[in-house]
Amino acid sequence: MFSRFAGGVHPREDKDTSGAAIEVMAAPKKVYVPFSQHTGKPAKPCIKKGDEVKIGMKIGEPDGLISAAVHASISGKVVDIVDHPHPVIGLSLCCVIEGDGTEDWVSNLQSDLNIEGLSKRQLLDAITQAGIVGLGGAAFPSHVKLSPPKGKDIDTLIINGCECEPILTADHRLMMEQSEAVIEGAKIFQKILGAASLIFGIEDNKNDAIQLFRNRGVRVLQLKTKYPQGAEKQLIKAILKREVPRGGLPMDVGCVVHNVGTCQAAFMAVKFRKPLIDRIVTVAGDGVRENKNVLVRIGTPVRDVIDFCGGYTGKPKKIVSGGPMMGIAQYADDVPVIKGTSGILVWNEITTVDPGSCVRCASCVDACPMGLMPTEIYGLVSNKKFDMAKEYGVLDCIECGCCAYVCPSAIPLVHYFKYGKNEVWRMSKK
């Protein structure tokens, strides 16, 4: 069993939906599809108000090197292109589509292609056209990750099946229900990258998935359940014992990491020319009547998904998009599900503690999987010493939340680090 990264925490797993088969939610009446759903520049709208669209039609073109295409997730009419609440960045330009009640796709989709003879370029092109991004949360455009610059040879492709965030089980269900598509997608990535090795990393709380994938003939490493086992650098360290240098990328140590959901989406893009128009979301918490895993169209308002799950059980105190460790609290339930939405968590009961002063216990230092000194960075950021915070590695913070989780003074450390990173970036742009 492998777990060789330092730090990390063991929160309660609470993966109560791990046996809940994926349910398909019907197309909602209206979707709000943001042009910004990925790391990098937002897509450029290529439709206008009043246009008729069909499922899978491109509505946003990638803009620049790091960007991704965006597609209509329902068939209907574009009724607006307007700023709308966004679960990650607060507000984003969205294409508002009112459904026409049909399930009409753009032509040339849903054909079962023979993909054996496709070249690397053709495979990559299909993935780019489909707007595939990392579905583990970061939503980095996949075609960029699959195009390492000259001189960066990739020997190992790691497929991340850890799903180390508590509560979330969407990846687990996907592995159990669509293992073939996940494996075929991984093989497509391997072919594009020319990587000699393909390794799946799965935590030992998903032994059924480990067994299933081994039975299908792929190499699986059983990883110790520990948060954040699924973070790229920690996964590489645990599996290959390689250290990604500070400020560096996995490709600097000869590997690339993709999530299992991304593999499945890429397979669908290559085999059926299906753009990324839906994703699996875990819906859980005491504030929602039925906890389940749901296949949801991109752009569906969170409130519609909650209705699909039987509605609220009371007046929610907290709604989170994502997992309990890295997810983002929402101020409204009209935010849409986007490509990176792995979970929707609703709580009626939450304990809030007023933050106290730092007692210099160093628990955060022990917990940090990046080897940072959160207590020092917190002091520097709160005193607006951003240059020094940069020297102390604030940009290396992966915002995993381990430090805040263990902090006895309940200091919202990640909040400070996000703020510090933004200030450092702002200063460097100047």
Q: Residue 355 CB, nearest distance to ligand SF4 (Å)?
A: 9
Using the rule CB under 6 A, is 11 a contact of ligand SF4?
Answer: no
CA 311 to chain centre: 25
**Neighbouring-strand partners of residue 61:** 44
Using the rule CB under 6 A, is 364 a contact of ligand SF4?
Answer: yes
Of the pair 188, 377, the CB lying nearest ligand SF4 is at: 377
Looking up tokens 């020094």 gives 388
Using the rule CB under 6 A, is 399 a contact of ligand SF4?
Answer: yes
Sign of CA dihedral 217, 220, 222, 225: negative
Q: Residue 327 CB, nearest distance to ligand SF4 (Å)?
A: 13
Q: Residue 356 CB, nearest distance to ligand SF4 (Å)?
A: 8
Using the rule CB under 6 A, is 244 a contact of ligand SF4?
Answer: no
| Residue of the chain from 213, 267, 416, 417 that contacts ligand SF4 (CB under 6 A) | 417
Of the pair 199, 413, the CB lying nearest ligand SF4 is at: 413
Of the pair 292, 421, the CB lying nearest ligand SF4 is at: 421
Single-letter amino acid, residue 336: P
Q: Residue 146 CB, nearest distance to ligand SF4 (Å)?
A: 26
Q: Which of residues 330-359 bind ligand SF4 (CB under 6 A)?
A: 358-359
Q: What is the Cα–Cα distance from 174 to 169, expressed in whole angstroms?
A: 9
Using the rule CB under 6 A, is 375 a contact of ligand SF4?
Answer: yes
Using the rule CB under 6 A, is 361 a contact of ligand SF4?
Answer: yes
Q: Residue 253 CB, nearest distance to ligand SF4 (Å)?
A: 19
Using the rule CB under 6 A, is 6 a contact of ligand SF4?
Answer: no
Contact region with ligand SF4 (CB under 6 A), list: 93-101, 137-145, 267-275, 391-399: 391-399
Using the rule CB under 6 A, is 363 a contact of ligand SF4?
Answer: yes
Using the rule CB under 6 A, is 360 a contact of ligand SF4?
Answer: yes
Using the rule CB under 6 A, is 362 a contact of ligand SF4?
Answer: yes
Using the rule CB under 6 A, is 239 a contact of ligand SF4?
Answer: no
Using the rule CB under 6 A, is 400 a contact of ligand SF4?
Answer: yes
Q: What is the Cα–Cα distance from 349 to 340, expressed in whole angstroms?
A: 26
| Residue of the chain from 298, 370, 380, 389 that contacts ligand SF4 (CB under 6 A) | 370
Q: Beta strands 90-99 and 343-347: pairing type?
A: unpaired
Binding mask 171-190 for ligand SF4 (x = CB under 6 A): --------------------
Of the pair 201, 401, the CB lying nearest ligand SF4 is at: 401
| Residue of the chain from 20, 268, 335, 397 that contacts ligand SF4 (CB under 6 A) | 397
Contact 131, 276 (CB under 8 A): yes
Using the rule CB under 6 A, is 408 a contact of ligand SF4?
Answer: yes
Q: What is the Cα–Cα distance from 310 to 133, expressed in whole angstroms?
A: 30
Task: Using CA atoms of 228, 231, 237, 240 in order, give the dihedral in degrees to the nearest 10.
Answer: 120
Of the pair 34, 401, the CB lying nearest ligand SF4 is at: 401
Q: Residue 167 CB, nearest distance to ligand SF4 (Å)?
A: 19
Q: Residue 138 CB, nearest distance to ligand SF4 (Å)?
A: 14
Q: What is the Cα–Cα distance from 160 to 353, expressed in whole angstroms?
A: 34
| Residue of the chain from 235, 240, 368, 380 that contacts ligand SF4 (CB under 6 A) | 368
Of the pair 113, 362, the CB lying nearest ligand SF4 is at: 362
Q: Residue 158 CB, nearest distance to ligand SF4 (Å)?
A: 20
Using the rule CB under 6 A, is 367 a contact of ligand SF4?
Answer: yes
Using the rule CB under 6 A, is 235 a contact of ligand SF4?
Answer: no
Interface with ligand SF4 by CB under 6 A: which residues? Answer: 358-364, 367-368, 370, 372, 374-375, 378, 397-403, 406-409, 411, 413-414, 417
